[in-house]
Chain A
Amino acid sequence: MSDYQAMQAQLVSEIAAAADLGALEALRVAALGKTGSVSALLKTLGGMTPDERQAKGPQIHALREAVTEAIAARKAALEAAALDAKLAAERLDMTLPAEAAPQGSVHPVSQVMDELAEIFADMGFAVATGPEIEDDWHNFTALNIPETHPARAMHDTFYFPDTDAEGRSMLLRTHTSPVQIRTMMREAPPIRIIAPGRVYRSDSDATHTPMFHQIEGLVIDRGIHLGHLKYTLETFLKAYFERDDIVLRLRPSYFPFTEPSAEVDVGYAQEKGRRIVGGDGDDAGHAWMELLGSGMVHPRVIANCGLDPDEWQGFAFGVGVDRLAMLKYGMDDLRAFFDGDLRWLAHYGFGALSVPTLSGGISA
């Protein structure tokens, strides 16, 4: 072993043993600094004979490179160890709670209205609106309910002392049907609309609130008949409840603004204290529940809106939105819908991103 090799072994071993960056730097200066031992050897190269330089030069350069590499390697190792130590000191208890972003919600009534809009849009129904403070012509008279009609009394109407410019009594609409009138007077057929909104009846008990939500459907076209109404209601309810086994029972009934008129029952089963919509109401373990009112728009109503009832005919239906929400999502207390109880809203409400779509499903 030459002297250089011995020296290299000595230096590399000292470098590898350097305890910290300070000690390593001292070793670097001692070896490679201006007055360092390796630097001193390099300086001797100038005084050598060419033969001597050819023999010793490579050995001295190899020594310097080995030392330089050893220092770099040791430095990297020491830095890594220092970082490890620093990170180890920064350890946190990751089971500590993180601050949660506040979670909001969409009210079930709004969600169901969005669901219905989505379903009916697919069938070509646009959404229409109208005022809640109505006049008695739009709410009653135009709908073939004259002043002395017993059906007026059945509506438990909220009245205002006011009259409009035409002397009509002002009231809170008792149903969404006046939107039918406003739509037919504003737009030329064919018409397909749904009209969701708040309606009011002077009625308050365990299952009735003085304000609730309804959705009205109206189709005016040529050649529309009861069979189309039946199909539309079946299709809508199957899509809404996301069940193919929805069975409807149309019962003849009476509404002044439709002729013929039908009340529509849907079959359901009682499971664990809840009504589960689906199945034939006449089957074992099943029964019928009244769900909505419907019929062919009365020719007088069509004429009242300035359309020719011999040319245009169609159907209309109305259904309670709160009721639909309760049946699908299982709430049992209508009054809670209007309380604003944060606990109830958090439980029964819907996430902002749960937008009902046809591709993603109506019950988002």
Chain B
Amino acid sequence: MKITLDWLRDHLDGTFTVDDVVATLNRIGHEVEGVENPAERFAGFRVAKVLTAEKHPQADKLQVLTVDAGDGGPPLTIVCGAPNARAGLVGVLGLPGAVVPANGMALKVAAVRGVESNGMMCSVRELELGDEHDGIIELPADAPVGTPFADYAGANDPVIDISITPNRQDCMGVRGLARDLAAAGLGTLKLLDVPVIEGAGAPATEIATHDPEGCPAFYGRTISGVTNGPAPDWMRRRLEAIGQRSISALVDISNYVMFDLGRPSHIYDRAKLTGALAARRAKDGETVTALNGKDYVLSDRMTVIADDAGVHDIAGIMGGEHSGCGEATTDILIEIAYFAPERIALTGQALGLTSDARSRFERGVDPAFLDDATAIVTGHILAICGGTPSAVTRAGTLPVEARTIAYDPALAETLGGIAIPAARQREILEALGFGVTEGAPWQVAVPSWRRDMDGPADVVEEVTRIHGFDAIPSTPLPRADGVARPTATPGQLLERRLRRAAAAAGYHEAVTWSFVSEREAAPFGGGAWSLANPISEDLKVMRPSLLPGLLSAAARNQNRGAESIRLFEIGRRYLADAEHPTLALLMAGDKRARSWQAGKAAPFDAFDAKAAALALLDAAGAPTDRLQVMEAVSEGAIWHPGQSATLRLGPKAVLAEFGALHPVLTRHFDVDGPVMAVQIFMDAIPAKRASGPARAAYAPPALQSVRRDFAFLAPETLAAADLVRAIRGADKAAIVDARLFDRFAGQGVPEGQVSLAVEVELQPQDKSFTDAELKVIADKVVAAAAKLGATLRG
């Protein structure tokens, strides 16, 4: 909300500058978003008098003027093309250095057709005061020559733009801010001037409220014989200064009172009303054309003001176009009503309609300020538009109830952190309009305009904010004895380990949007959660996988010329049942750039993905030696059907998925070339059992281990891991490891078979193996392999 300094002075006595006001407002909780002085636009423009005017020697349409700038210096020579320029004219002179508001042109001394001109006499349009541009401005002959134009025009009034927090409806009017400023020691709040206007006779239009819930009270009065011309200059100037368009005296008066006192009102043209006017619930489907020219369809959850003919006002939000006041208006009805804040909020939300009235009513206007507001609005109308007022009809009942808060002044210290003497607290509260009855505890009477006050904590805020938050001493938070305890949860530790392991392995961590487009989610089975009001179709579905975000990032990087892409992200997948913490890792392009040693660039393959998955799981502390490699689980065509798999601890505990992505998927995301990926399902990794820092006892074996190689012919359908696992289990006492080191098919190997070579490590315990023992172990290995259809190669 905007106010002007001059307007503020209507309510606040004292000597203060705009800087004082800004500093104090910020200090007490009214954030100043900006200060603008329209006078700055008129810097360098002043009232000046044309002394002589003669024809320009070189140009027919120009005149050479001598102008008294009122600075005591010699007259200035000004070249001017305006037909109305003449000796004796008082106008507005722009001096060199001034910037013309209309076109941003900086004035300077310049020769015009051989005659030096020392400035410019300005037109109305050049100063953006109106559209006229037939000639230069003509001020009254007695306008004081030499006065800065801003002062002459009354434009030297700084405008302060303030962000009013939603709890302070009372400060959505100049007077409320003045009250807060006075409480903070900036000036003295003036008494509000409320005229006494009895009026004669009942209002010519009957008023009533048939919706006491939505409109508890409806005050009204009619005035006959008004003249609705333009509002007076002072009022127009103020309204325009705060960004309101001046419309007509009646409309401007209603607006003025709203911005002055935070009190909306509505004025109807009685000629356009039919019969009595009442607040009632709208009928479902009823329509109204509002003052903004738009049609609104109403529902029975909304309150309206209507007459026999129909709806004239969306109560408390916006008047109807049909019954508004115009130039021809002579008889009017003033509506000063109290609307239930909740009703206004819901109606405004449902209609998607905001207005200055709504923002005040939905925050709750002062329910005790209807009679005075009626008198003040009437007073302005009588003064500006004339007319004969009726008496006031007061329909309904005001929801005014006395509220007190039990308050212990010690709370300022125990909650607010600062000891403030009781007398000072009382002084602050009273200056803000509270009543204080001391006792144990105090009874603090809440003024009718402070709907936000809810309990003692609110009183602490009032006292401390006016006293000053700056004064609150910084108080150390008590800390536990000794060294700080660890605070990270197992989940956070897992995330940190995975993150740093992936970064250490050469992958860059990306953070991508949690929402993707339907098209991006589709290959992953679509999303379980779609926004009702997405910011765009691209950001609509909560991601079912982290891969869409990384694939899109990979495509962007390829478009920028990246040749090797290693990305990962740690975040949540949003499934129907829950949010699942996940790591996804993606590799595309070159694994190794071409080089003088290795020759051409090498691409990633599915085993790079497997290696990354195992390394990450290892870093995460998962039991990687017990993992089984099984088929991929993700639905749809995500993975290359022959080059992807899962790592599981048993059939249901899928810890990771890895492999080459399906080419259809990578094309869908416009990523070139084969793409490898890993997904680590972090919530599937079993938590380590809590145990102390000590490790299990261990001493390296005294005897050296023995290695034996075995080569088998196996069916090509046999999974290598099955063979290795069988061999490892052939003699659990002696065999400590088995590792496949060669795989060969082709010449020398029968069709449909494959040669697999396995190195077996044997660990003797007390004494070395004898040849006979070694033979027994070897036979067991061969027998275990034979069960899987693998035969020892001769």
**A204/B535 in contact, CB under 8 A:** yes
Could you tell me the distance between the alpha carbons of A170 and B531 in the complex, rounded to whole angstroms?
10
> Assuming the A-B contacts A99-B597, A225-B417, A226-B417, are A253 and B29 also in contact, with contact meaning beta carbons closer than 8 angstroms in the complex?
yes
**B487/A251 in contact, CB under 8 A:** no
| Closest chain A residue, CB of each to CB of B536 | A204
Does A183 reach chain B (CB closer than 8 Å)? no
**A110/B487 in contact, CB under 8 A:** no
> Assuming the A-B contacts A339-B553, A340-B553, A342-B567, are A225 and B500 also in contact, with contact meaning beta carbons closer than 8 angstroms in the complex?
no
**A104/B505 in contact, CB under 8 A:** yes
Could you tell me the distance between the alpha carbons of A162 and B531 in the complex, rounded to whole angstroms?
9
For window 395-423 of B, CB contacts with A under 8 Å fall at: 413-418
Using Cβ atoms and an 8 Å threshold, which residues of chain B touch A159? 531-533
**B556/A97 in contact, CB under 8 A:** no
- Stretch in A19-27, A51-59, A292-300 with 4+ CB within 8 Å of B: A292-300
**A225/B514 in contact, CB under 8 A:** no
Could you tell me the distance between the alpha carbons of A106 and B492 in the complex, rounded to whole angstroms?
15
| Closest chain B residue, CB of each to CB of A265 | B26
- Stretch in B304-312, B455-463, B739-747 with 4+ CB within 8 Å of A: B455-463
* CB contact between B167 and one of A103, A148, A254 (< 8 Å): that residue: A254
> Assuming the A-B contacts A202-B535, A223-B414, A249-B470, are A352 and B504 also in contact, with contact meaning beta carbons closer than 8 angstroms in the complex?
yes
Does B342 reach chain A (CB closer than 8 Å)? yes
Does B244 reach chain A (CB closer than 8 Å)? no
**B496/A114 in contact, CB under 8 A:** yes
**A109/B511 in contact, CB under 8 A:** yes
For A78-107 the 0/1 string (1 means CB < 8 A from B) is: 000000000000000000110101111111
Could you tell me the distance between the alpha carbons of A100 and B485 in the complex, rounded to whole angstroms?
40
Could you tell me the distance between the alpha carbons of A110 and B510 in the complex, rounded to whole angstroms?
10
The interface on chain B, measured as residues whose beta carbon lies within 8 A of the other chain's beta carbons, has a size of 101
Does B486 reach chain A (CB closer than 8 Å)? yes
Dominant SS among interface residues on chain A: mixed
Using Cβ atoms and an 8 Å threshold, which residues of chain B touch A129? 491
> Assuming the A-B contacts A107-B510, A253-B165, A254-B29, are A150 and B345 also in contact, with contact meaning beta carbons closer than 8 angstroms in the complex?
yes
| Closest chain B residue, CB of each to CB of A310 | B456
Does B15 reach chain A (CB closer than 8 Å)? no
Using Cβ atoms and an 8 Å threshold, which residues of chain B touch A124? 479-480, 484-485, 487
Using Cβ atoms and an 8 Å threshold, which residues of chain A touch B349? 153
> Assuming the A-B contacts A148-B346, A226-B464, are A97 and B514 also in contact, with contact meaning beta carbons closer than 8 angstroms in the complex?
no
B570 to chain A, nearest CB (A): 8
Does A125 reach chain B (CB closer than 8 Å)? yes
| Closest chain A residue, CB of each to CB of B500 | A352
Using Cβ atoms and an 8 Å threshold, which residues of chain A touch B596? 96-97
- Stretch in A29-37, A63-71, A255-263, A267-275 with 4+ CB within 8 Å of B: A255-263
* CB contact between B531 and one of A172, A223, A355 (< 8 Å): that residue: A172
A78 to chain B, nearest CB (A): 34
- Stretch in A40-48, A135-143, A227-235 with 4+ CB within 8 Å of B: A227-235
Does B690 reach chain A (CB closer than 8 Å)? no
**A211/B513 in contact, CB under 8 A:** yes
B101 to chain A, nearest CB (A): 28
* CB contact between A340 and one of B454, B496, B557 (< 8 Å): that residue: B557
**A345/B166 in contact, CB under 8 A:** no
B557 to chain A, nearest CB (A): 5
**A148/B341 in contact, CB under 8 A:** yes
Using Cβ atoms and an 8 Å threshold, which residues of chain A touch B597? 99
For B443-485 the 0/1 string (1 means CB < 8 A from A) is: 0000000000011011011001100011011111101100011
B21 to chain A, nearest CB (A): 15
**A296/B457 in contact, CB under 8 A:** yes
Does A161 reach chain B (CB closer than 8 Å)? yes
- Stretch in B207-215, B558-566, B773-781 with 4+ CB within 8 Å of A: B558-566
B538 to chain A, nearest CB (A): 10
**A121/B484 in contact, CB under 8 A:** yes
| Closest chain B residue, CB of each to CB of A230 | B474
* CB contact between B465 and one of A151, A219, A252, A351 (< 8 Å): that residue: A252
For window 211-254 of A, CB contacts with B under 8 Å fall at: 211, 219, 223-232, 234-235, 249-254
* CB contact between B166 and one of A149, A234, A339 (< 8 Å): that residue: A149
> Assuming the A-B contacts A104-B503, A151-B166, A352-B500, are A300 and B454 also in contact, with contact meaning beta carbons closer than 8 angstroms in the complex?
yes
A358 to chain B, nearest CB (A): 8
Tally the A-B contacts, defined by beta carbons under 8 Å.
255
Using Cβ atoms and an 8 Å threshold, which residues of chain A touch B477? 123, 219, 224, 228, 231-232, 235
* CB contact between B595 and one of A99, A133, A148 (< 8 Å): that residue: A99
Using Cβ atoms and an 8 Å threshold, which residues of chain B touch A300? 454
Using Cβ atoms and an 8 Å threshold, which residues of chain B touch A102? 505-507, 564, 566
**A127/B508 in contact, CB under 8 A:** no
Could you tell me the distance between the alpha carbons of A203 and B510 in the complex, rounded to whole angstroms?
22
Using Cβ atoms and an 8 Å threshold, which residues of chain B touch A106? 499-500, 503, 509
Does A126 reach chain B (CB closer than 8 Å)? yes
The interface on chain A, measured as residues whose beta carbon lies within 8 A of the other chain's beta carbons, has a size of 92
**B511/A148 in contact, CB under 8 A:** no
**B560/A343 in contact, CB under 8 A:** yes
**B562/A342 in contact, CB under 8 A:** yes
Could you tell me the distance between the alpha carbons of A189 and B513 in the complex, rounded to whole angstroms?
35
Does B54 reach chain A (CB closer than 8 Å)? no
**A260/B457 in contact, CB under 8 A:** yes
Using Cβ atoms and an 8 Å threshold, which residues of chain B touch A223? 414
Using Cβ atoms and an 8 Å threshold, which residues of chain A touch B464? 226, 252, 260
**B474/A227 in contact, CB under 8 A:** yes
Using Cβ atoms and an 8 Å threshold, which residues of chain B touch A219? 477
> Assuming the A-B contacts A132-B579, A226-B418, A251-B469, are A107 and B166 also in contact, with contact meaning beta carbons closer than 8 angstroms in the complex?
no
Could you tell me the distance between the alpha carbons of A110 and B497 in the complex, rounded to whole angstroms?
12
**B488/A260 in contact, CB under 8 A:** no
**B414/A104 in contact, CB under 8 A:** no
Does B645 reach chain A (CB closer than 8 Å)? no
B555 to chain A, nearest CB (A): 10
Could you tell me the distance between the alpha carbons of A349 and B510 in the complex, rounded to whole angstroms?
10
**B474/A342 in contact, CB under 8 A:** no
For A156-169 the 0/1 string (1 means CB < 8 A from B) is: 00111110000000
* CB contact between B514 and one of A147, A162, A198, A353 (< 8 Å): that residue: A198
**B457/A299 in contact, CB under 8 A:** yes
**B473/A227 in contact, CB under 8 A:** yes
A100 to chain B, nearest CB (A): 9
Could you tell me the distance between the alpha carbons of A254 and B28 in the complex, rounded to whole angstroms?
11
Using Cβ atoms and an 8 Å threshold, which residues of chain A touch B560? 341, 343
* CB contact between A225 and one of B31, B342, B415, B552 (< 8 Å): that residue: B415
**B579/A131 in contact, CB under 8 A:** yes
**A227/B472 in contact, CB under 8 A:** yes
Does B574 reach chain A (CB closer than 8 Å)? yes
| Closest chain B residue, CB of each to CB of A157 | B533
Does B549 reach chain A (CB closer than 8 Å)? yes
**A252/B487 in contact, CB under 8 A:** no
| Closest chain A residue, CB of each to CB of B343 | A148
**A340/B29 in contact, CB under 8 A:** no
| Closest chain A residue, CB of each to CB of B553 | A340
Does B600 reach chain A (CB closer than 8 Å)? no
> Assuming the A-B contacts A131-B579, A346-B508, are A252 and B461 also in contact, with contact meaning beta carbons closer than 8 angstroms in the complex?
yes
Using Cβ atoms and an 8 Å threshold, which residues of chain A touch B539? 210
> Assuming the A-B contacts A210-B539, A225-B414, A250-B472, are A345 and B509 also in contact, with contact meaning beta carbons closer than 8 angstroms in the complex?
yes
B369 to chain A, nearest CB (A): 20
The 8 closest A-B pairs by CB, nearest first: A102-B506, A340-B553, A227-B417, A252-B29, A227-B475, A254-B165, A260-B461, A252-B465
Residues of B at under 8 Å CB distance from A? 26-29, 31, 165-168, 341-342, 345-346, 349, 359, 362-363, 413-418, 454-455, 457-458, 460-461, 464-465, 469-470, 472-477, 479-480, 484-489, 491-492, 496, 499-515, 529-535, 539, 542, 549-550, 552-554, 556-557, 560, 562, 564-568, 570-572, 574, 578-579, 592, 595-598
- 8 A-B residue pairings within 8 Å (CB atoms): A107-B511, A121-B487, A147-B346, A200-B514, A226-B416, A253-B29, A254-B29, A352-B501
Q: Apart from A123-B477, A252-B28, what are 10 other A-B pairs with CB-CB below 8 Å? A: A96-B596, A102-B507, A102-B566, A103-B506, A125-B487, A129-B491, A148-B346, A161-B532, A231-B475, A231-B476
